Amino acid sequence: MAQSASKTVVMELRGISKNYSGVAALTDVSLQIKAGEVHALLGENGAGKSTLMNVASGTVAPSSGDLVIHGERYDALTPALANQLGIAIVHQHPAVLKDLTVLENLQVALPSSIFKGRPADKVGVELLERVGLKISLKLRVEDLTIAQKHLLEIAKALATSPKILVLDEPTAALGQDSVELLFQLVANEIASGTAVIYITHRLAEVRELADIVTVLRDGHLMATSDIGKITDAELLAQIIGRELKSAFPSKHTVAEGAKPNLVVTGLSGNGFNDVSIEAYPGQIIGIAGVVGNGQSEFLKALSGQAEFTGSIEINGQKKSAHSLNGKAALMPADRQREGVMMRMSVRENSALASLKKFKNFGLLSRRKEVTSVHDTLTSLSIKAPGLEAPVSALSGGNQQKVVMARALLSNPVMILADEPTQGVDVGARSELYEILRQASADGIPVVVASSDAKELEGLCDTVYVLSRGQVVKTLRDGENREEAMIEAAVTSTTKVIRVERQQREQRMANETFFVKFRRFLRGDYAPPAMLALVMVALSALIMTKTDSYFSDFNMNSILLLVSALGFVAIGQTTVMMTGGIDLSTGPLVGFLVVIASFFINDDAPFTAIMMGLVTMALVAVLVGLANSALIRFVKFTAIAATLTTYIAIGGFAFLLRPQPDGYISQAISDVLNSAIGPIPYVFIALIVATVAMEYLLRKSRWGWQLRAVGSNEEAARKVGVRTTRSIIGAYVISSLFVFLGSLLLMVQLGIGDASQGVTYTLTGITAVVLGGTSLMGGRGTYIGTFMGSILLIQVLNATVFLDLDQTWQYLLQAILILVAAVVYSTARNRKASKKNS
Amino acid sequence: MADRSAATLSTGSRFQVSKGLLTVLVSTAVLFALSAALAPTSVAPGTLSGMLPFAAILAIVGLGQMLVIQQAGIDLSVAGSVSLAAVIVTVYPTGDNSRLVPALLMAFGVSLATGLLNGVLIGFIKLNPIIATLGTNSLLYGLVMAISQGIPRQTTSRLQSIVTSATFGIPNTVYFALATLLIVILFLRKTVAGRRFESIGASPAVASISGLRVRTHLGLAYVWGQLLYTLAGVLIAGVISSPNGSMGDAYLLPSVAVVVLGGTSLLGGRGLPTATVIAAVFLSQLDQFVLALGVNFAVRTLVQAAALAIGVAIYTVDWSRVRAVLNKLLSANSRGQNQASLPSA
């Protein structure tokens, strides 16, 4: 597999640099990718491999440098452009949408040409078969295992027959058989002339697959070599090669006859299996391994925040998860999110876990707190503008010292540091090492997980190397050289420990009726089915009391009310599908009636009526645009944005009609009220609209994109959805359905009245919620909203027939909402908890 | 080494003025100046003493809503809760002063139960706050109807005199609002529970890593909220001699508006109680000012919407970026002019 000069260069990255707020992630990296070759990218965590590939696939724009693809020059790509150029990427964290089905995930991410002319499920099954994924296309992606999600991601990438295929650590979560299959697929792609870029940590995979190997270190390109001409030792030297930059404190010598102060035996939990470690007083324990091999999960379990089996003993005392939670201090790896409260002050961040110490007569004493926090921070030689400065104003190293101060102030039984020096400058690093050493010398067990083997070599006394959740090597003092750790981590051949779970999922493939029924209960169409049952029961109950319930008159008036509400609620459903909310629907429906009252009058000519309708539609579109512009461009939350338009629309309505006036044309009312038997035509229109929207939601690219945005905006963007356009569209569509609803409200009111309509906001939301659409976005049905609208109106109407007063109208509504919300939410949570176990 | 660091680490002043507080303080000052200049009647003592009780009630409701919003929630049951409290303290005694205290106990008991219901639904069953409080709001209105049968009753004379009389020339409602503010500030800044509460709002992830009981505090936010809405409802019953069953409706949107105007984010985070209270004064005075200018209800509403939009934009828009873009545009313009002038040169 020697490099041949004749192979064509399909992609060239020239002098790519990328800075994130002043920090260089990539510096002047140039790379040539050739057709029919596997080009491996090697490097430690944070070396810049993923950033480089994000540049190549269009999710990140470079700060400088450019790309040449198929001979064309580009400054930067977008995900959509990269797709067109035949670049497909398998992301390290699969860009899959959990609320969509497997098939829908394929459909939203792939160009429609792939599905052209053949039934979609057939194409889908074929695509999945290529990667050996045997699951139902109808399965929701959140029910997939991590390995299955990765395979789905690979299937998507291969489906487009890409010219350039980027694989970002594709085997991290895969089982052995899947890895072999993947290698086979890569070989096939190469044979057909595809260029493959393969990012990995594992030398064995590089040896097996790659033609060319490039090593990145700290954002710099080290070397590009022919795989046949470089030895493992040379590669390792390129990957590591960093001289010892930080000074480490001297290590600890275990005293003769000392007893261990931390003994962990056979600890297993989510992400790690059968881990045993032991520490003597004064020792620092290191957990080594490639990121994502169970280190963080292991530390979380030690801190009592995750379930585990096995035992943890501190100073001879057995500890339960409950007794560790809050007592064992965890310094999380994701400092930005889990470590510090960015907008709170240095003082508040430091004191968080030790507030009880500062009480004086029941209240917090500022003096005590300030003194204590100040002393601790000073002993950590923190550099900060002041105690009251927000933590966000501090450098990474000083933020980490705040986390450290919080841990020390809380008198912890154990300190667990996950990547304690990530994003910390060299000077602060050695200070952090000193602090950990000091804590350890004070007798507190200290466990440090780090992907920086050099750091563990310098800091720790005993190092355990984790690979795929298992200890593959224990290195005592003297043996814990960086080389030994990296070797153990990158050469390990442990298999993923998710086999059992995969088998359990496989069993689900043989579906019994019971399994199918359970899936239905958790599915999108369970809520409307439940609502139908309630409706039938309620009707039966009313029938026992009266026989005029099904009279034409009552049916007709119920259905007219349902129609107005139904259209407004369909609009609301569209917005909620994106994870937003539109509070302005109520005032808008009233405002449009006010506008109508100027045009659609008894003696108005046809042109005036047409103009009225056009004006109403235009105003609706404008309101939709205003809402979405506030949200997307001025960054309002959906509630703040639509609350603002809510109030403004009300103002405009009263501006136009300070007093109710402007009688609506009787002729138009008659048209809109006309019916076959008891069923008004407008109700039939509502049914048609519901079915059409439902169809579009499930079967059209618009619908998949809409739900993709609500499900996970970031992933949606990665698969090429134009998220802003989708969201603007949703608010405009919402307003247009409000326009349809306003025509019916117009008939009901018969006059322009600025005070009417506002109640439609909350009733509309209620109908949507009853229908089972999630306010979190991504999932729901229009059918459910339709049923919800009917049930709501039916309940209000029923109180009349059952001789119940207004109290019951409210109580029944409350019971409906709360019972529905609790039932739907527990059905969904059960699934989530099952997944976590 | 310690000396050097000690020099760099100032302990900071005891009192901090947040951006939200500053913005709303300045806006309110400007508004009063405008009122005095353009519509002197809107700052006449009579007008002010008419405005202040309602500003005070709005402030109390706003403080309750703030405690919920700072936990990234929202409470739609404000309306039902305020109405129910007003109805309980008027209908149960129906004018009999001796039954006022039991009525108050009843009102606060109901509000405690409602808060717990909301808290359990949202904190533990993980319902979306909009859905849960929409449901409880209906429940509360059901109770309002059941208790009042839609008929307003006369407020007891004792409640009325306590609430409507003035001490040192200032309406008593103002003292209630200030006391509430003081308690909320004390809770948030000076108690262990309050500090934890605030941290959980700022970052549930950090709080949970630190071993705090996130769900409990989250749920309790709704209890604190309910207690304050109820206090507001009782005060309304005192101010308005016979409150009907939908008094609370008028407070739902303004309660959210004052919190947002005060600079507390709808996404959760630090709550700014003083700014929220001043925002309540601002909104109430804005109403008086526009009213005194003689414009109608419609314009008043539009001014409110504009105030809200500007108030939110101050926090959401990245103004340094806007300035950068503007500068770029301006310099591009001037460059264009230069180029245009080149040929003639």
Residue A512: predicted pLDDT: 66
Residue A602: predicted pLDDT: 86
Residue A508: predicted pLDDT: 47
**Interchain CB distance below 8 Å, A821 and B132:** yes
Residue B323 belongs to some domain of the structure: no
Out of B199, B257, B301, the one facing A344 most closely (by C-beta) is: B199
- A 318-347: CB under 8 A from B: 325-327, 330, 332, 337-345, 347
Using an 8 Å CB-CB cutoff, list chain B residues near A813.
135, 138
Residue B232 belongs to some domain of the structure: yes
Out of B150, B206, B304, the one facing A339 most closely (by C-beta) is: B206
Segment A402-412, tens digit of pLDDT: 888 888 888 88
Check whether A501 has a pLDDT greater than 60.
no
Least reliable range by pLDDT among A132-141, A687-696, B106-115: A132-141
The domain that holds B285 is classified in CATH as: 1.10.3470
Q: How far is CA A423 from CA A23, A45, A427, A457, in A?
A: 9, 12, 12, 19
Query: Both ends of chain B: CA-CA distance in Å?
Result: 64
**Interchain CB distance below 8 Å, A654 and B8:** no
Residue A836: predicted pLDDT: 41
**Interchain CB distance below 8 Å, B210 and A776:** no
Q: What is the dihedral of CA B170, B172, B174, B175, to 10 degrees?
A: 110
Cα–Cα distance, A220 to A27 (Å, whole number): 5
Q: Model confidence at A246, in pLDDT bands (50, 70, 90)?
A: low
Average pLDDT over residues B309-323: 78
Closest CA to A731 of A613, A615, A626: A626
Check whether A556 has a pLDDT greater than 50.
yes
Closest-approach residue (CA) in chain A for B260: A640
Output the six-digit token pair for A208.
């097996």
Closest CA to A358 of B190, B117, B9, B201: B190
Closest-approach residue (CA) in chain B for A763: B134
Cα–Cα distance, A652 to B302 (Å, whole number): 7
Buried b (16+ CB within 10 A) or exposed e, B6-43: eeebebbeeeeeeebbebbbebbeebbebbeeebeebb
Instruction: Provide the pairing of β-strand A64-69 with A164-168.
Output: unpaired
Closest CA to A639 of B218, B68, B24, B199: B68
Decide: A27 and A219 in contact? Cβ < 8 Å: yes
pTM: 0.83
Output the six-digit token pair for A222.
């080290």
Residue A133: predicted pLDDT: 82
Segment B140-155, tens digit of pLDDT: 999 998 888 878 888 8
Residue B322 belongs to some domain of the structure: no
Judge residue A614's burial from the number of C-beta atoms within 10 Å of its C-beta, 0-12 exposed, 13-18 middle, 19 or more buried: exposed
| Residue A351 in contact with partner chain B when CB distance is under 8 A | yes
Q: What is the nearest CA distance from A407 to chain B, expressed in angstroms?
A: 9
> What contacts A531, CB < 8 A, 6 or more positions away?
A770, A771, A784, A787, A788, A790, A791
Query: Phi, psi (5° rounding) for residue A797?
Result: -70, -35
Using an 8 Å CB-CB cutoff, list chain A residues near B299.
651, 655
Number of structural domains found in chain B: 1
Please name each of the domains of chain A with its CATH number.
Answer: 9-239 (3.40.50.300), 262-488 (3.40.50.300), 520-831 (1.10.3470)
Average pLDDT over residues A492-508: 47
Residue B276 belongs to some domain of the structure: yes
Residue B133: predicted pLDDT: 92
Sign of the alpha-carbon torsion through B235, B240, B245, B246:
negative
Cα–Cα distance, A217 to A219 (Å, whole number): 5
Strand order in the sheet with A87-90: A87-90, A164-168, A195-199, A38-42, A212-217, A220-226
| Residue A305 in contact with partner chain B when CB distance is under 8 A | yes
Least reliable range by pLDDT among A4-8, A202-206, A217-221, A785-789: A4-8
Check whether B286 has a pLDDT greater than 70.
yes
Percent residues over pLDDT 70 in chain B: 91
Q: How far is CA A606 from CA A32, A601, A609, in A?
A: 68, 10, 5
Using an 8 Å CB-CB cutoff, list chain B residues near A384.
8-9
Least reliable range by pLDDT among A45-54, A644-653, A661-670, B253-262: A45-54
Output the six-digit token pair for A831.
């699934």
Check whether A740 has a pLDDT greater than 70.
yes
Segment A507-547, tens digit of pLDDT: 445 556 666 777 777 778 888 888 888 888 888 888 887 77
Closest-approach residue (CA) in chain B for A335: B206
Least reliable range by pLDDT among A51-60, A564-573, A678-687, B107-116: A51-60
Residue B280 belongs to some domain of the structure: yes
Say how many C-beta atoms besides its own lie within 10 A of residue B146's C-beta: 15
Percent residues over pLDDT 90 in chain B: 27
Residue A23: predicted pLDDT: 66
Average pLDDT over residues A773-792: 90
Q: How far is CA A354 from CA A71, A220, A368, A406, in A?
A: 61, 43, 12, 7
Across A11-20, A284-293, A357-366, B184-193, the highest mean pLDDT is recorded for B184-193
Is B263 strand, coil or helix?
coil
Say how many C-beta atoms besides its own lie within 10 A of residue B164's C-beta: 17
Using an 8 Å CB-CB cutoff, list chain A residues near B208.
305
Check whether B335 has a pLDDT greater than 60.
no
Using an 8 Å CB-CB cutoff, list chain B residues near A364.
189-192, 195
> What contacts B39, CB < 8 A, 6 or more positions away?
B289, B292, B293
Judge residue B121's burial from the number of C-beta atoms within 10 Å of its C-beta, 0-12 exposed, 13-18 middle, 19 or more buried: buried
Residue B120: predicted pLDDT: 92
Segment A111-139, tens digit of pLDDT: 888 888 888 888 888 888 888 788 888 88
Say how many C-beta atoms besides its own lie within 10 A of residue B316's C-beta: 16
Segment A310-348, tens digit of pLDDT: 888 888 888 888 888 888 888 888 887 888 888 888 888
Residue B13 belongs to some domain of the structure: no
Check whether A500 has a pLDDT greater than 80.
no
Residue B329: predicted pLDDT: 74
| Residue A383 in contact with partner chain B when CB distance is under 8 A | yes
Instruction: Provide the pairing of β-strand A195-199 with A309-314.
Output: unpaired
Check whether A504 has a pLDDT greater than 70.
no
Residue B14: predicted pLDDT: 61
Across A65-79, A664-678, B77-91, the highest mean pLDDT is recorded for B77-91
Check whether A491 has a pLDDT greater than 70.
no
Q: At what angle do helices B273-292 and B249-261 cross, to 10 degrees?
A: 120
Average pLDDT over residues A776-794: 91
Check whether A372 has a pLDDT greater than 80.
yes
Residue B35 belongs to some domain of the structure: no
| A185/A742: higher pLDDT | A742
Check whether A289 has a pLDDT greater than 90.
no
Query: Phi, psi (5° rounding) for residue A445?
Result: -60, 135
Amino acid A607 reads T
DSSP secondary structure string for all residues of A413-428? SEEEEESTTTT--HHH
Task: Name the one residue in this structure whose structure tokens are 């001025």.
Answer: A634
Check whether B212 has a pLDDT greater than 70.
yes
Using an 8 Å CB-CB cutoff, list chain B residues near A762.
76, 134
Interface with B, mutate which of A369, A431, A818 (most B CBs under 10 A): A818
Q: Which long-range contacts (CB under 8 A, 24 or more apart) does A311-320 make?
A: A311/A263, A311/A264, A311/A265, A311/A266, A311/A267, A312/A262, A312/A263, A312/A264, A312/A267, A313/A262, A313/A263, A313/A264, A313/A265, A314/A261, A314/A262, A314/A413, A314/A414, A314/A445, A315/A261, A316/A259, A319/A413
Q: Model confidence at A175, in pLDDT bands (50, 70, 90)?
A: low
| A761/A253: higher pLDDT | A761
Q: Model confidence at A430, in pLDDT bands (50, 70, 90)?
A: confident
Residue B320 belongs to some domain of the structure: no
How many interchain CB pairs under 8 A, A with B?
230
> What contacts B289, CB < 8 A, 6 or more positions away?
B31, B34, B35, B38, B39, B42
Task: Name the one residue in this structure whose structure tokens are 């041949």.
Answer: A4
Q: What is the mean pLDDT of chain A?
A: 83
Q: Is A411 left (phi over 0), alpha (psi -120 to 50) or beta?
A: left
Q: Model confidence at B5, in pLDDT bands (50, 70, 90)?
A: very low
Residue B60: predicted pLDDT: 95
Q: Model confidence at A302, in pLDDT bands (50, 70, 90)?
A: confident
Question: What is the domain range of residue B167?
Answer: 19-28+40-314
Cα–Cα distance, A6 to A286 (Å, whole number): 48
